[in-house]
A and B are shown apart, each in its own frame.
Chain A
Amino acid sequence: MLRKLLIAVAMVAGAAQPLFAADAASDPKGEFKAFRDYFTNRFPKVALDDFVNGPYSMDEGLRKQWKAIDEFPPYDFAIDKGKEMFATPFKNGKSYGDCFPNKGIGVRQDYPQFDAKSGQVITLDMALNNCREANGEKPFDYTKDDMAALTAYMAFTSRGKPMNIKIPDDPRALAAYTNGKRYFYTRRGQLNFSCASCHVQNPGNHIRTEVLAPALGIMNAMPIYRSAWGGMGTTSRRLRTCNSQVRGVPLPGESEEYRDVEYYLSYMANGLPISGPGTRP
């Protein structure tokens, strides 16, 4: 009798395992449609391409302020600096352009990419540092200044181009996508917030004085000039700030989780125009 009971328990446990695995399993195409439908149904008055403008797509007053600020965009200095850096050869005579298709012009929408060789997600920021190291230069800090300037320039050359993220037929690519999705929906920090708590469940609502941006198209504006920072910041800097704001210890810039969540969110934004570099309060 006891043996039968144990076998029954083992069978139930065995059957339950795949059910949970199926819950967490990824169907990128289906999830892409559900994600888009969620935002367009919730905000029927917001034009699809306008979601990339983050909080400005949610709040008319904020939008007016943004339009006024954008007459003299605060990120212009970063674009100029990035352009100069991009054109300046490394000590070995090569340049950033040699590391990218089309000499690095108008390619930002193709990042992040899954790299079959290394088996990991490569963001534009990481590709730039890989380029530097391959040419004997020291990598830049992933959170600000130089990296933000370089990516600002590259984003500027891609403005208006539709996000074009691919998930190749490789289980490792799907695993990276799923890991990004997991990170996005997992609550963390003492305040028990996930990325989705703000950017899926509460876009358009205020958190203190800030209007929360929708997750749809949130990566298209990167990098950003943020008034709260008084300067430019990269995707890693934004994610690290989000972590701190919920009282979580931030991860290192371009850590696997950050790259994977960028991969997931960028895939969700496929077809939406690049609007970076952006301005945020």
Chain B
Amino acid sequence: MRTRTLIGLAVAASVAGFASAAFAATADDYKAAEAKADAAIKQAHALKNEWTTTADAMKQAKAAASAGKFDEAVKHAQEAETLANASIAQSREQEKLWPDAVVR
């Protein structure tokens, strides 16, 4: 029974691997992810609150895309978008919270 389960899991894992290989990211996928990240970064820049880690992730995304590694490129672009959105949320939150920290 246990052997059957293990075999089942192995088959499932190989199918999943095949599936992910079959649906590997393309240059267009990267362009879409990059555009989303760029839009968020632009907004963070306007708020004067970009994070260095956002820039690093975007740099890695561009390098991977240049090397034709689009899975990796999409992953880094999505990471950059997430970080940029977090910095935007931080700015929005701090617009309300900073007066509470003032020494009075």
Interface residues, chain A, CB within 8 Å of chain B?
Answer: 20, 23-24, 30-31, 34-35, 38, 181-182, 185-190, 192, 194, 196, 200, 244, 247-249, 251, 257
- A-B residue pairs, 10 tightest by C-beta: A249-B50, A23-B99, A185-B101, A185-B98, A186-B98, A190-B51, A24-B99, A247-B52, A38-B103, A186-B94
Asked whether B48 lies within 8 Å of A251 as measured between CB atoms, the reply is: yes
Are the C-beta atoms of B52 and A31 separated by less than 8 Å? no
Query: A-B pairs with CB below 8 Å: how many?
Result: 60
Across the interface, do A194 and B55 meet the contact criterion of CB distance under 8 Å?
no
B74 interface residue, CB < 8 Å from A? no
Q: How far is the CA of A251 from the CA of B47 in the complex (A)?
A: 11
Closest chain B CB from A69 CB (angstroms): 31
Question: Cβ of A182 and Cβ of B98 under 8 Å apart?
Answer: yes
Specify the chain A residue showing the minimal Cβ separation from B95. A186
Instruction: Tell whether B49 is near chain A: CB-to-CB under 8 Å.
Output: yes
B interface, by DSSP: helix, strand, loop or mixed?
helix
The tally of residues in B whose CB lies under 8 Å from a CB in A reads: 23
Residue in B closest to A39 when the chains form the complex, CB atoms: B103
Residue of B nearest to A257 (CB): B48
CA distance A182 to B86 in the complex (A): 20
Select from chain B the residue with minimum beta-carbon distance to A23: B99
On whether A247 and B94 interact (CB within 8 A), knowing A31-B102, A34-B103, A34-B104, the answer reads: no
Near A by CB (< 8 A), chain B positions 20-66 give 48-55
Interface string of B50-93 (1 = CB under 8 A from A): 11111100000000000000000000000000010011001100
Nearest opposing residue in chain B for A196, CB measure: B101
